[in-house]
């Protein structure tokens, strides 16, 4: 294993380095590397086996200067089996009753639990990006809900990615996971368990998702599910 970041590739709008250890990340490191102005993103790849197992990535690099996202990947066989906890609290895994209900719950929960609390950490043009996702990608996703007394209290939205040569394929990509924060702590844990068990049964060996570094709750969820950060992206403010 090397001791310095190594340039891997220059893409149309990005430049990518391999990183021996995530613990090496710092503002000084990012500032010291080649990052041409025409490259919107600088990213770092790290092998999952070398990624930290505990503390999520958060303030290694200034939030004032950069926006940061992290890609997590895990093996489904490592997801803890906690589905049985749901019945104790009257929680039930159930399909959405219609595409309209699925879309309504997604848009409402995404706006309230992501766009609003993290509005200061969105990259430029995120409104357009969100519209394009809803119009082009969301209709092809697979979703499941957790209900309590008929009311939706949690949901998971997944995009199935086929094998195409990537080391982590086929993969269930988590586009959105939401659990109602008004539920008591133990019920939230049970809802997470139901969603995790459903995810575990989907086709493919791997699961993953992209998380804003400031979203510590989501990072901790991925860590509890056995996933590890494998790529970190930075955008200039």
Stretch 222-228: mean pLDDT, rounded?
90
Report strand pairing: 142-148 vs 151-161.
antiparallel
Residue 141: pLDDT band by 50, 70, 90 thresholds? very high
Judged against a pLDDT cut of 60, whether residue 1 lies above it is answered with no
**Which is nearest to 235 in space by CA: 114, 69, 78?**
69
Q: Which residues contact 61 (CB under 8 A, 6 or more apart)?
A: 25, 26, 27, 30, 68, 234
User: In this structure, are residues 227 and 74 in contact, taking their beta carbons and an 8 Å threshold?
Assistant: yes
Sheet harboring 228-236: ordered strands across?
Answer: 6-10, 14-18, 41-45, 228-236, 66-75, 206-212, 171-179, 151-161, 142-148, 91-94
**Which is nearest to 84 in space by CA: 200, 227, 191?**
191
Judged against a pLDDT cut of 70, whether residue 189 lies above it is answered with yes
Q: What is the pLDDT of residues 147-174, one digit of tens each?
A: 999 899 999 999 998 877 677 888 999 9
Stretch 39-58: mean pLDDT, rounded?
79
Stretch 6-23: mean pLDDT, rounded?
91
The pLDDT mean for the chain works out to 89
Task: Give pTM, 2 decimals.
Answer: 0.90
Longest CA–CA span in the chain (Å) reads: 55
Length of the chain in terms of residues written: 237
Could you tell me the domains of the chain?
Answer: 77-207 (3.40.630.30)
71 vs 78: CA distance, rounded Å:
17
Summary count for the chain: helices (H), strands (E) = 6, 10
**Which is nearest to 72 in space by CA: 43, 58, 51, 55?**
51
What pLDDT sits at residue 199?
Answer: 95
């Amino acid at each position: 294993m090397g001791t310095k970041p190594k340039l891997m590739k220059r893409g149309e709008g990005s430049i990518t380095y391999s990183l021996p250890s995530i613990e090496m990340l710092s503002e000084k490191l990012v500032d010291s590397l080649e990052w041409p102005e025409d490259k919107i993103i600088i990213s770092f790849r790290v092998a999952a086996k070398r990624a930290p197992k505990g503390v999520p990535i958060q303030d290694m690099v200034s939030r004032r200067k950069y926006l940061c996202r992290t890609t997590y990947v895990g093996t489904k066989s490592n997801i803890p089996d906690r589905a049985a906890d749901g019945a104790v609290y009257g929680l039930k895994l159930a399909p959405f009753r219609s595409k309209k209900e699925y879309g309504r719950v997604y848009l409402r929960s995404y706006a309230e639990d992501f766009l609003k609390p993290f509005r200061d950490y969105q990259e430029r043009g995120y409104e357009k990006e969100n519209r394009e996702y809803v119009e082009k990608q969301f209709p092809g996703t697979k979703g499941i809900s957790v209900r309590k007394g008929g009311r939706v209290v949690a949901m998971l939205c997944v995009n199935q990615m086929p094998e195409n040569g990537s080391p982590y394929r086929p993969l269930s990509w988590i586009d959105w996971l939401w659990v109602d924060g008004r539920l008591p702590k133990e019920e939230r844990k049970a809802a997470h368990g139901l969603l995790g068990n459903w995810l575990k049964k989907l086709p493919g060996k791997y699961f993953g998702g992209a998380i804003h570094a400031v979203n510590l709750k989501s990072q901790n969820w991925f860590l509890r599910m056995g996933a590890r950060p494998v790529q970190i992206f930075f955008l200039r403010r």
